[in-house]
Amino acid sequence: MRESPRIVGVETTYTVIITRDVTESTVVEVEAGTPEEAEDLAFDKLSNSTDAEWRLDDGSWNQSGAYVTAVDRIDERRG
């Protein structure tokens, strides 16, 4: 982690987004002649779906370490 120079007695408020990568899966049934065609048809069907049910893959939430994706200074002048 990088150390930033600090001015003693001056604190600034930040929001920090911490991210964990997870995977989700859904099942799409298609009829196709080849596995490659099945993949294409499944993506087409999914992109046209409004009610796909995605489920968190077992254990995927604990496979990698968390990391920072953004650090934003909060503008103290906001009301």
> What is the spatial distance between Cα 4 and Cα 15, in angstroms, rounded to a whole number?
16
Query: Residue 64 has what pLDDT?
Result: 77
The pLDDT value given to residue 65 = 83
Higher pLDDT, 59 or 36: 36
8 Å CB contact between 68 and 18: yes
Task: Give start and end residues of each alpha helix (H) in 19-77.
Answer: 35-47
Is the pLDDT at 79 greater than 60, yes or no? Answer: no
- The more confidently predicted of residues 2 and 47 is 47
pLDDT in tens, 28-50: 999 999 999 999 999 999 999 99
- Give the distance from CA 69 to its chain's centroid: 10
Q: What percent of the chain has pLDDT over 90?
A: 51
pTM confidence score:
0.56
